[in-house]
A and B are shown apart, each in its own frame.
Chain A
Amino acid sequence: MKKTGRIMLVLLVLVVSVMLLYPSIKWHFLIPEETKELAAGTNMEIREYARGQASKDVRILLSMAKTNGEDAVPAEYKYLISDAKAELKKVGKSNPEKWTCYSLLSAFKTESSFFEAIEAKYREELMEVKELSNYVLQLGLDLRGGMSVLLEADTTRIEQELGRAVTEAELTALLNEDIEILNARIDQFGVSEPDIRLQGTSQILIELPGEADPERVNSFLRGKGSLAFQLVDSTLTDRVNSDYQKNHSLIFADDGTMITPSYIPADRTLAGYYIEDEYGLEVLNSLVVLKSEIALDGAHLKAAAVSQDPETRSPVVNFRLDSEGGEIFYKVTSANKGQGLAVVMDGKVKSVAKINEAIRDSVQLSGGFTDEEAQSLAVTLKTASLPVELVVVSQQAIGATLGDDAVKVALLAIVVGCALVFIFMAAYYGPAGLVSDVSLLMNFLMMISLLSALNFTLTLSSIAGIVLTLGMAIDANVIIYERMKEEEKKGALGYQIVREGYKGAFWSIMDSNVTTIIAALVLSFFGSSTVKGFANTLAIGIACSLFTSLFVSHLIFDLFIPADSFNRVKLSWRKRK
């Protein structure tokens, strides 16, 4: 390969590495801590925040339009102009000559469309940051604290019901339902997104960053108290909804929480009736005023399924209650015929149905569902109990402070180790040692960028992998330099030394690194998660080190020592006669 071609290749690798690393750089240095904290919340919390900010901005802009409506739009609200243009285009009106607070506001047909435009801006900003966090090199649970729980299906109950053993495929399907339900309980748990996934065919792994508290996880697994039935106060519900339609900012406070109007008495609670939109985000459909007393706890639910009403052909949701729940439900339904009953999960109304008759343990909810709504309601009802019970097979929890200390110590060790290695190489091999330091730095850069691009988390064991890679990368350089020294002793000069040194070292380095990569790859397939992290880093590190030591450092030598050179290659600081 020609020298320019080689330089181009190295530059290309550098550029790609920096690009892969860009999300991490942006995350750690360019995004303010506060934004990150806000984006770390659940989708629900993000919406609350966006709503709150939007209602604040609506008020500010309204008062500006009233007092000095002919002023130009302030810089921080300029983004609304393009929304306003779109609004005007929709109704076929032309843009105003000058964008003032007044003309901006009047471009929107209703106040709620104005509100939505502002809300969308806040939401998109945070959702973008949230999306970005997926491409960032994150610290593992052992470094930032958190919990990892491995659960296994307990099939005894199901096998009793079926009267036979559960097949592997059936079990996996049931576990996938479990996972869906656990995901639905996340909001209730109130932690930043846990990672819940199937492991093998019969296990579920849950990783919760940040918060470590086995007790809370246990209650999360049991899922008690998240689902309840409550009676609806229809008069107050109508009044609240008409207020809401008039003005959104009357109902939402600046921090995104709902304001309970003063006319709602203490034994009533205001709740939102939410449906999921096409982004999977819950959208407020209307408001419901509930009687605070819980009519029936969801813990009494046994099973739920969607079926079809044989007469009307519209979807209905059936569920069953245990005997105690049946008694309670019968009392409630017989006393409140004709009233609305709401299914409430985590303070949010999921469905409202009218009580037509007294019901005991087998309940049918009908009326006005689409197929999807019926499905999602059945899923909600099912969240009260898991189809397959789960037992904890292994669990690790680390308090955030302990993780904090571990990070500091590991980082210190790495910095000290690297510094020693860098100094030693430069001291022992002189200018050539500096070349190896440069190729080592590039090795680090490539490794970190690949690790973050492949979405690996940085754990203690992967830090160990990095340290070991450092040792192996140095070895390649040492083999090359020792070869060069031998060639020099044999009487070779300048370019010859470089060529023969790399030639002699090539297969030693290849053979020894390939065997290590074999070990690393086997480990990354069969090892436990700790060992995997180590093996993955090592495999990536060695691959990068082969490139930097055989290709990059060779190129640097070739640049300093041209093919016609007969100068000595400086392999130490000593001056020789």
Chain B
Amino acid sequence: MRNINILKYRKISIIASSAFILLGVVAFIVFGFNTGIDFGAGFSERVQIVPVGIKVSYSGQNAATLSISSGTLVFQERSASGLVSNTYSSDLYPTVADVAAQMEKDGLDVVVEDGSLLTSNLVSGFGFPCDLTSTWKALNFATETRDVTIEDVRNALDSVGDAKVQTLGSAYEGSFQIRVNVDSSDTQESLDKEVNDALFSAFGKDNVVVMQSDFVGPKFSAELLKNSFIAIAIALALILVYVTIRFRVSYAISSLVALFHDVLAMLSLILICRLEVSSTTIAAVLTIIGYSLNNTIVIFDRVRENVSAKRNEDVDALINLSINQSLSRTLITSLTTLFAIVPLAIFSSGDIKLFAINLTWGILVGGYSSNFIAPAFLSSLHKKYPINVFKEKEDEVDPLLED
């Protein structure tokens, strides 16, 4: 069986890891964390600035609602004879003009603003499903051209102060993320109004579609940060106690070193790549704490088993043997977990994408640290707190196997 001398690389790996973490520290000093609104209080809004295709209203006697289900407009009319549903799919009604013609037949009042827009580009934000009344309800559709640039939005928000604007999706969509910091005097209502009024006056009220809005007050974010740190500290303490009881103190310390390494390496990547820090980052960090520990403990379990079976052999050689014995398991497990995570990192968006990116990196780093960092520390600590001194004790037996 091939036996790679992994402990030989301990110096190189410790230097490489230290260098990367140092780079992270530099990034921290230069840029600081790119905190999402979870951690830095703020107001964030996702808007799409797109033209109005049609306006509809309803003057009949019945209860009428307009809703959007999987991108298709649905007009429902509840009357004495029951419920009538009309759907306007983009297959049957490719352009806005087609939709308008059919809607008029179905009993709605329609004003066509731009009939050439495509039905499939329907944009809907807040306020759906809506009750139709005699007041006009605007329906927006994205265009195939670039109408609003990020500069336009920035100019519009000049009055709001330190607003940050980001383009989302393709430039044609006219989708923007707007983020504003909060002072202690601001309320959700006042900020919401301030931002939207600025957008409405620049682009027209009907052309601004709000897709998502988040507000985090200053007090809430401070509490969240505090709770997150408490959670991490408690988790670490409990894990340390468990590993000390199940193994020995040298194992516990080495696994914690590997764990701190993973957390620091993750934070370094976040700092260097300027990834956003939100509450899902905490989730990712905690997942990796669990995952990397999982890896390290599987290897340490082997070390413990080998050390107690071959009591007179050199411990360094046994550690090396254990890593090699676990190598194929480490590779296969990391690979399958990546199979599950990488599609999320590629396909999804927003928070969940960030989470998946953090996790992917964490799995790589975790795999590396449990093979290179943790065993190296275990071998050094062994010289101080030997791991091959035994009291006589019975072997543990798998309780499920006692037929």
* Chain A interfacial positions (CB closer than 8 Å to B): 1-2, 34, 52, 150, 152, 210-215, 218, 253-255, 391-402, 404, 406, 409-410, 412-414, 416-418, 420-421, 424-425, 428, 460-461, 463-464, 467-468, 470-472, 474-475, 478-479, 482, 486, 499, 502-504, 506-508, 511-516, 518-520, 522-523, 525-528, 530-531, 534-535, 538, 550-551, 554
Set of chain A residues within 8 Å of B342, measured between Cβ atoms: 417
Q: Are B211 and A420 in contact (CB under 8 A)?
A: no
B119 nearest CB across to chain A (Å): 14
Number of A-B contacts (CB under 8 A): 275
Set of chain A residues within 8 Å of B390, measured between Cβ atoms: none
CA distance A479 to B80 in the complex (A): 65
Q: Are B220 and A499 in contact (CB under 8 A)?
A: no
A127 nearest CB across to chain B (Å): 20
B339 on interface, CB distance cutoff 8 Å: yes
Q: Are A213 and B227 in contact (CB under 8 A)?
A: no
**Interface residue from B81, B280, B403 paired with A530 (Cβ < 8 Å):** B280
Set of chain B residues within 8 Å of A530, measured between Cβ atoms: 279-280, 283, 351
Q: Are A502 and B328 in contact (CB under 8 A)?
A: no
Contact residues on B (Cβ < 8 Å of other chain), bracket:
35 or more
A280 nearest CB across to chain B (Å): 25
- Pick from B96-104, B149-157, B158-166, B233-241 the stretch touching chain A: B233-241
Return 23 A-B CB contacts under 8 Å, by A number.
A1-B400, A34-B83, A150-B220, A255-B62, A394-B215, A399-B212, A401-B211, A406-B348, A406-B349, A406-B352, A410-B344, A416-B347, A420-B339, A461-B280, A468-B287, A471-B336, A475-B336, A478-B332, A482-B326, A502-B398, A507-B396, A528-B279, A531-B279
Q: Are A515 and B333 in contact (CB under 8 A)?
A: no
- Pick from B13-21, B126-134, B377-385 the stretch touching chain A: B126-134
Q: Are B333 and A478 in contact (CB under 8 A)?
A: yes
Given contacts A410-B348, A420-B343, A512-B293, contact A399 B398 (CB under 8 A): no
**Interface residue from A420, A506, A518 paired with B398 (Cβ < 8 Å):** A506
- Pick from B2-10, B107-115, B185-193, B198-206 the stretch touching chain A: B185-193
CA distance A508 to B125 in the complex (A): 50
Interface string of B194-231 (1 = CB under 8 A from A): 00000000000000001111111101100010011011
B298 on interface, CB distance cutoff 8 Å: yes
Q: Are A460 and B301 in contact (CB under 8 A)?
A: no
Sorted nearest first, the 6 A-B pairs with minimum C-beta distance are A471-B337, A516-B290, A526-B231, A392-B188, A512-B294, A417-B340
B68 on interface, CB distance cutoff 8 Å: yes
**Interface residue from A424, A482, A499, A554 paired with B336 (Cβ < 8 Å):** A424
**Interface residue from A417, A499, A504, A515 paired with B293 (Cβ < 8 Å):** A515
CA distance A418 to B335 in the complex (A): 13
* Chain B interfacial positions (CB closer than 8 Å to A): 38, 46, 62-63, 68, 70-71, 78-81, 83, 123-129, 187-189, 192, 210-217, 219-220, 224, 227-228, 230-231, 234-235, 238-239, 242-243, 246, 279-280, 282-283, 286-287, 289-291, 293-295, 297-298, 301-302, 305, 325-326, 328-329, 332-333, 335-337, 339-344, 346-352, 355-356, 359, 396-398, 400-401, 403
Set of chain A residues within 8 Å of B212, measured between Cβ atoms: 212, 396-399, 402
Q: Are B282 and A475 in contact (CB under 8 A)?
A: no
CA distance A474 to B331 in the complex (A): 12
Q: Are A409 and B298 in contact (CB under 8 A)?
A: no
**Interface residue from A214, A512, A525 paired with B298 (Cβ < 8 Å):** A512
CA distance A420 to B342 in the complex (A): 11
Set of chain B residues within 8 Å of A391, measured between Cβ atoms: 187, 217
B402 nearest CB across to chain A (Å): 8
B171 nearest CB across to chain A (Å): 18
